[in-house]
Amino acid sequence: MCSRENDALLVQTCYQLVYRKSLLGDELFEKAFRDTPKLRKFAEALPYVRSYDQSPCLLELFDALAMEYVDVVVRGIRSPEEGLKRAQARMEEITQGE
């Protein structure tokens, strides 16, 4: 079930990145990056992403980021820079209890 081919299909179909160090260098994923160039910016960040410890607001933080991701990559209604700024602002609200 977990294979490079299935991971590439997931990325191409659902725009859902998988945690693989070599996404950008793998020809199986290149079609997804050609078809959705903004997806590449998120893939470039994957080597620097680490999992978080359990947190009471973790799901809400992920939701905030996911909503901006969808608006940037899937809907194309915002630039990656604007999406990241909005996600950061929302995450700061969440972590500061506002």
- For the chain, give the mean pLDDT: 85
Q: Which two tokens stand for residue 74?
A: 């899937």
**pLDDT tens string 60-88:** 888 999 999 999 999 999 999 999 999 99
Please count the structural domains in the chain. Answer: 2
Residues 36 and 20 both lie in one domain: yes
Model pTM?
Answer: 0.48
Tell how many helices (H) and how many strands (E) occur in the chain.
Answer: 5, 0
Residues 70 and 81 both lie in one domain: yes
Residues 67 and 42 both lie in one domain: no
Residues 66 and 43 both lie in one domain: no
The pLDDT, as a whole number, for residue 53 is 61
How many Å apart are CA 47 and CA 25, to the nearest integer? 12
Residues 40 and 12 both lie in one domain: yes
Residues 10 and 45 both lie in one domain: yes
Q: Which two tokens stand for residue 9?
A: 């299909």
The mean per-residue pLDDT over the stretch 24-40 comes to 87
The mean per-residue pLDDT over the stretch 50-69 comes to 80
Range of the domain at 1: 1-50
Residues 55 and 85 both lie in one domain: yes
**Quick count: other Cβ atoms within 10 Å of Cβ 90?**
18
How far are the Cα atoms of 5, 52, 58, 68, 85 from residue 71, in angstroms, in the given order? Answer: 26, 24, 20, 5, 13
The pLDDT, as a whole number, for residue 74 is 93
Q: pLDDT over 90 for what percent of the chain?
A: 32
